[in-house]
Amino acid sequence: MKQLNNKEIHKTSDLPDNNDIIYFTFGVENTLKLILTNIYSTPSVININNVNKVADNSNTIDKYSYSYVFTPNYFKTSGSFTIQAEYALAIPLTKSYNFILQKLPNKIATLDDVIITNVTNINRFNKNRNYYSSILNKDVKSVLTKTSITNTDNIGNISFHIKKTDPYSTVHTTMEYMDSNGDYIIFKETIEEFIDNILTLNKNAGSYKTIVILPITIPKKLIQNDANTEVINITGISNIRVKINVIAENKIVKNTYNYIIQI
């Protein structure tokens, strides 16, 4: 299998009768090329996505191979071809192969941007840079360290907006809240691309329920006149280590972006 720029993306020399997977590149011209063992045999049927393309052979150079161009706007489909023997009395006269055409999984495990709010002293994002450090905004810190926080205080804090390079990749983010001795206080994880207010605890949200609390009780502060919202008590937190793990569509290529937020 080749794409428009003549790059070979998939090749097999031992095609089984059924269910072999042949990969293509999505959204561009691909060429399915058949090389026959017997140059005097011919394809009688070439089905790609339920369309018989046997009359569309684009190879006019030689007589032992056949090329069929198609541009897939689908991720997966079926295909088949039937080879006709040279002699009418040959046994078997024809042989058919059924296969699966499937989008080639991308190998991209980078991010285009990470927008992080309410921190200072952070470098501009670069997809080829994997380590960043920053400091919690002093105005946010002053609110979260108040003796008494009410529902009229602005408790908006650190949020992450993760923008993937490849929409077919996935992200898995871990957040480690550390004390001054480097010990864990809280551990959180999520697969969301927008992580809102990592120092806020909403009792009705799924993220609140999936927090791993390492001490017996979570270090938190109540919000006066708000029964559903709490904030993490940052007094004993020295820094937050955030790791954004990017997994490519092929599930093999991986990459990690690290953030250290000083509290």
pLDDT of amino acid 259: 98
What is the tally of structural domains in the chain? Answer: 2
Q: Vertex 106, ends 103 and 109: CA angle to 5°?
A: 160
pTM greater than 0.95: no
* pLDDT at residue 201 is higher than 90: no
Percent of the chain with pLDDT over 90: 68
* pLDDT at residue 27 is higher than 70: yes
Residue 203 is part of which domain span?
111-262
Q: What is the mean pLDDT of the chain?
A: 89
| Residue ending a domain, choose from 78, 103, 128 | 103
The label of the residue with tokens 């190879």 reads 59
pLDDT of amino acid 86: 79
For residues 48 and 138, membership in a common domain is answered with no
Task: Report the range of poorest mean pLDDT among 86-90, 100-104, 148-152, 181-185.
Answer: 86-90
Query: H or E segment at 142?
Result: helix 138-144
* pLDDT at residue 228 is higher than 90: no
Q: Is the dihedral of CA 12, 14, 17, 21 positive or negative?
A: negative
| Residue ending a domain, choose from 103, 137, 152 | 103
Q: Residue 241 burial (CB < 10 Å; 0-12/13-18/19+)?
A: middle
For residues 159 and 190, membership in a common domain is answered with yes
| Residue ending a domain, choose from 71, 86, 103 | 103
For residues 162 and 38, membership in a common domain is answered with no
For residues 65 and 90, membership in a common domain is answered with yes
The contacts of residue 136 (CB under 8 Å, 6+ apart) are 118, 119, 120, 157, 158, 234, 261, 262, 263
CA of residue 106 relative to chain centroid, distance: 9
For residues 67 and 122, membership in a common domain is answered with no
